[in-house]
Amino acid sequence: MTALARVSEFVVKTTLDDCPREALAQVRRAALDTVGVMLAGAGEPVARAVREVARAEGGTPLCTVVGTRLRTSVTWAALANGTAGHAHDFDDTSFALMGHPSVPLLAALLAAGEAEMADGAAVALGYVIGFEIDAALGSAMNPAHYQRGWHATSTIGSLGCAAAVARLLGLDLAQTRHALGLAASLASGLKENFGSMTKPYHAGHAARNGVLAALLARESLTASESALDGPQGYAAVFGERASAGDALEGLGRRWHLVESGIAVKPYPSCALTHAAIDALLDLRRQHGLRPEQVEAVEIGVTRVTPGVLIYPTPATALERKFSMQFCAASALAHGRVDFTSFTEGEVRDPVVRSLMDRTTMVVDERLSDRLIEHAWSRVNLRLTDGRTLAVPPRGATGHPDRPLSAEALREKFLSCATLALPRSEAEGVAEQLQHLDDIPDVRALTSRLAADRD
């Protein structure tokens, strides 16, 4: 059996009854977080750029572009909403994928679900299926795939989105194989674009790829049976080995959504900055630190991190999100890292600039290479009075072993959603998302996500 055949069987045959109860609870949490960041990101320049082209290109107005008054075709809606959802880099991550699963999956599923008049259960099931394929491929191909420069959110996420939409559309085995084979050719995304608008575009690209592949397969477009594991197939080209067979064999028997889970972001910056931000905020609070007391900051990171946090002296708001020096300095200077930290242009705050100059990021070979720990870091501070303060290697708040409480997640959603919706409406959406799989027609949800914005 080819890898495509194995994956397609999982897609077509899996039902909600097969999914662990805990997995559905994770889907509801992911939907709450993801819709919130989509609404928040709709006002960002990258989201506006995509909408302008969507409007110029036209398209049957079947689907909601979240946080706006625009309605457009299913592929454009998937692209627009996926891009908006990743615009602040505030959306959740999967350590197995080494990327962002939920924004591409839900951008694809909400658009396709609205066009097909699907129910919430179909969206929830599509999410579980897409996540499991994302995580299985990620487990097989990472960290080598990621370290070679591929942005897994898009390269792997395109296949997860194709699988999710294929299930929602009710494609048969042959059509599903073709959708996944086509998605394997559509997949792309380079880490060199981190810190630019193209990085959030990648999330929309994965969503659009998934929708387009499934729609074309439904219309009898074909792809190679060996597109995943052939000698010139996806696994051989994107990875270090020609097969992801072992990982794919576990589909339906192990559930990554429960085992490795989802990391929800408390800060709108790259996830690899979060453990250090947490540690520095803790030290600042515990010791009443003032910026002038800090002589030097050293942050130890895994070998993955320097290839991602590539801007020691960021010149734009987006570059700041991929700067350990900036995020660490902002945490120490202001006691927070939030939307207001990422104003456009060079860093002008002299206190933050001074702290950035005193911050060093080093690879600590003692840190684990395990996927689940690749976002860990450790922190050492040297103070002007001669004292040293240290936080040993650890993950961040929001990681699966330190999840945000239901209250904190809801508050994050409301802080994001109210950038586009009145608070009373945002609260109603939050309540609806707590029962996502019970919604009889997903349009009852998407109709509430429009806002008075072009």
Q: What is the side-by-side order of every strand in the sheet holding 359-363?
A: 359-363, 294-301, 377-383, 388-394
What's the topology of domain 3-266+411-449? 2-methylcitrate dehydratase PrpD (1.10.4100)
Number of Cα atoms under 13 Å in the Cβ half of residue 212: 18
Note whether 382 and 388 are within 8 A (CB).
yes
Cis peptide before 266 (omega within 30 of 0): no
pLDDT in tens, 28-70: 999 999 999 999 999 999 999 999 999 999 889 999 999 999 9
Spell 32-58 as b/e; 16+ CB within 10 A means b.
bbbbbbbbbbbbbebbbebbeebbeee
pLDDT attached to residue 249: 85
Note whether 334 and 289 are within 8 A (CB).
no
pLDDT in tens, 352-399: 999 999 999 999 999 988 888 999 999 999 999 999 999 999 999 999
Q: Which residues in the chain show pLDDT less than 70? A: 241-243, 245
Four-way CATH pick for 271-394: 1.10.287.10, 3.40.50.10740, 3.30.1330.120, 3.40.50.11030 = 3.30.1330.120
Q: What global pTM score does this model have? A: 0.96
pLDDT attached to residue 242: 56
pLDDT attached to residue 345: 86
Domain with CATH 1.10.4100.10 in the chain: 3-266+411-449
pLDDT attached to residue 241: 65
Note whether 132 and 6 are within 8 A (CB).
no
Domain with CATH 3.30.1330.120 in the chain: 271-394
